[in-house]
Chains A and B, each alone.
Chain A
Amino acid sequence: DAGITQSPRYKITETGRQVTLMCHQTWSHSYMFWYRQDLGHGLRLIYYSAAADITDKGEVPDGYVVSRSKTENFPLTLESATRSQTSVYFCATAGGHEQFFGPGTRLTVL
């Protein structure tokens, strides 16, 4: 009964490396979201997905790639990490009127 999980919880990588952040939900919610949280900016939407194989850009999509082959998984890939992508990343699902958030992944790009 985990609900929504993210892995890894902490990640340190180097500039130029590819990194994939995982998000898994057990509710079968159709909508899933990726946000990044930065001091002074609140949460900003990166990508979202309305269903398997349906994804769309949010406010800050550059440098990120998503896929959704199964309803329960929504991975976020940084194809070539940059220092500006150092952030805390949250995955969320939408059920009813509200969104439910995962615990977050703290990513540091050196």
Chain B
Amino acid sequence: AQSVTQLGSHVSVSEGALVLLRCNYSSSVPPYLFWYVQYPNQGLQLLLKYTTGATLVKGINGFEAEFKKSETSFHLTKPSAHMSDAAEYFCAVRGAGSYQLTFGKGTKLSVIP
């Protein structure tokens, strides 16, 4: 069984400040990890993913995340927040060999001008 915990349902940052969204997972098999972004009234869009190889992965819009197996974490970061980053972000895990995703409950990011 897999599960995902996103710490903080709402996060507010000032424009230009560091964005840090936390994600911890549990998985009985080597995981594939994902971050999706959802803008209002839209579907989910893939930001980045970890499957194998380099543990620091870069995604779209300047986001990156680091897979830390020892901490079972996959936190999402961006050095400098932009107003357009305001959205809801979902962390998801998938076990290798399965196509099913298990999602966290989401973190809504607000960016303060």
Q: Is B84 an interface residue (CB 8 A)?
A: no
Closest to B4 in A: A42
Which of A33, A42, A58 neighbours the largest number of chain B CB atoms within 10 Å of its CB?
A42
Asked if B44 is at the interface of the complex by the 8 Å CB criterion, the answer is yes
Tell whether A80 is near chain B: CB-to-CB under 8 Å. no
Number of A-B residue pairs having CB atoms within 8 Å of each other in the complex: 46
Considering only CB atoms and an 8 Å cut-off, how many residues of chain B contact the other chain?
Answer: 21
Q: Does A109 contact B (CB under 8 A)?
A: no
List the interface of chain B (C-beta within 8 A of A).
9, 32, 34, 36, 41-46, 49, 51, 90, 94, 99-101, 103-106
Please tell me the number of chain A residues within 8 Å of chain B, measured between CB atoms: 22
Which residues of A have CB within 8 Å of B103?
42-44
Please give, as numbers and ranges, the residues of chain A lying within 8 Å of B41 by CB-CB distance: 104
Contact (A102, B46) CB under 8 Å given A41-B105, A42-B106, A58-B100: no
